Amino acid sequence: MASTKRIAKEFADCTTAPPPGISITLPSDADLHTWHVTVTAPPNSVYAPGRFGLILKLPTDYPFKPPTINFTTRIYHPNITNDSLGNICLGLLKSENWKPASKIISVLEAVRNILVEPMPDDALEQRIADEYRRDRPEFEKNARAYVERYAKGSVNFVQAPPPPEKKDGAPAGATTTGAVNPGRAAGRQGGASSGSASRPAPPA
Rule CB under 8 A: is residue 23 a binding residue for other proteins? Answer: no
Query: Which parts of 36-135 fold into alpha helices (H)?
Result: 104-116, 126-134
DSSP symbols for 166-181? -SSHHHHHHHHH----
Neighbours of 112 (CB within 10 A): 22
Rule CB under 8 A: is residue 10 a binding residue for other proteins? Answer: yes
Rule CB under 8 A: is residue 85 a binding residue for other proteins? Answer: yes
Catalytic residue among 22, 26, 85, 89: 89
Rule CB under 8 A: is residue 16 a binding residue for other proteins? Answer: no
Binding residue (CB under 8 A) for other proteins from 53, 63, 67, 118: 63
| Min CB(16)–other proteins separation in Å | 14
Q: Is 14 among the catalytic positions?
A: no
> Cis omega (within 30 of 0) on the bond before 171?
no
Query: How many residues bind to other proteins according to rule CB under 8 A?
Result: 38
Binding residue (CB under 8 A) for other proteins from 145, 172, 186, 197: 172
Residue 105's alpha-carbon distances to 37, 101, 118, in angstroms, are 11, 11, 19
Residues in the chain: 204
Residue 131's alpha-carbon distances to 3, 114, 176, in angstroms, are 42, 16, 17
Active site (catalytic) residues: 89
List interacting residues with other proteins (CB under 8 A): 2, 5-6, 9-10, 61, 63-64, 81, 85, 87, 89, 92, 94, 96, 99-102, 106, 121-124, 126-127, 162-166, 168-169, 172-173, 176-178
